Amino acid sequence: MTMKQFCFLLLFAMTAVLSAAAKPAATPAATPTAKPATTSKSTGSVLTSIYSANHAPSEFAEPDKAADLIKRRAELAQKIQNERKRILKEDAKAKELYEEIMRLNRQLASLLEAKKSMIELNSQLIELDSAISKLKPAPPPETETKDTKKEDTGKADKAENADKTGKAGKE
């Protein structure tokens, strides 16, 4: 999950918490016959993750149908993402909350990165990245087979020429 995706999820989680906090809570004395809320069907939420379903069609009994549904889901997830972006641009309160979350996110990142343990771990990570980047990539396996084929064809050509000229064995 990218930082941007995380921030969007965090934003909508915060929105849900704030909207729930704004509603008055029902007290047991006020509603003596209150039954526990049970729902058999998911009603959807701003907290619904549009990033969680990563399935391959081959995992299902009907791969063609699964591929179509997965494609439709990806298109819908993109529409949801675009709608969230549009709302953030147009809704002043949403924009304000998003900017506050981003400010707090940067503040938290600065606080975490300033800790001695994080500085040490980041240094180790940089050293490993440097060592990895210095490694040369392995040559592709096709290179070896091409060289072998060239040698084989060269020997075959010499043998053919030797047969034509009658000078076999002289190389």
Q: Which of 104, 109, 84, 103 is CA-nearest to residue 94?
A: 84
- Domain boundaries, given as residue ranges, for the chain: 54-90, 93-134
pTM above 0.85, yes or no: no
Contact (Cβ atoms closer than 8 angstroms) between residue 171 and residue 158: yes
Residue type for 8, please?
F
Residue-wise pLDDT tens for the chain (171 aa)? Answer: 555 655 555 555 555 544 444 444 444 444 344 444 444 444 555 556 776 667 888 888 998 999 999 999 999 999 999 999 999 999 999 999 999 999 999 999 999 999 999 999 999 999 999 999 898 787 887 755 555 555 555 555 555 555 555 555 544
Q: Which two tokens stand for residue 6?
A: 């995380």
| Whole-angstrom distance, CA of residue 24 vs CA of residue 67 | 45
Number of H helices, E strands in the chain: 5, 0
Q: Cα 74 vs. chain centroid, distance in angstroms?
A: 13
Q: Cα 76 vs. chain centroid, distance in angstroms?
A: 17
Q: Give the angle subtended at the CA of 1 by the CAs of 125 and 129, to the nearest 5°.
A: 15
Q: Cα 41 vs. chain centroid, distance in angstroms?
A: 29
Distances (CA, A) of 46 to 16, 52, 93: 7, 14, 16
Q: Which two tokens stand for residue 23?
A: 């509603």
- Enumerate residues 6+ apart whose C-beta is below 8 A from 168: 159, 162
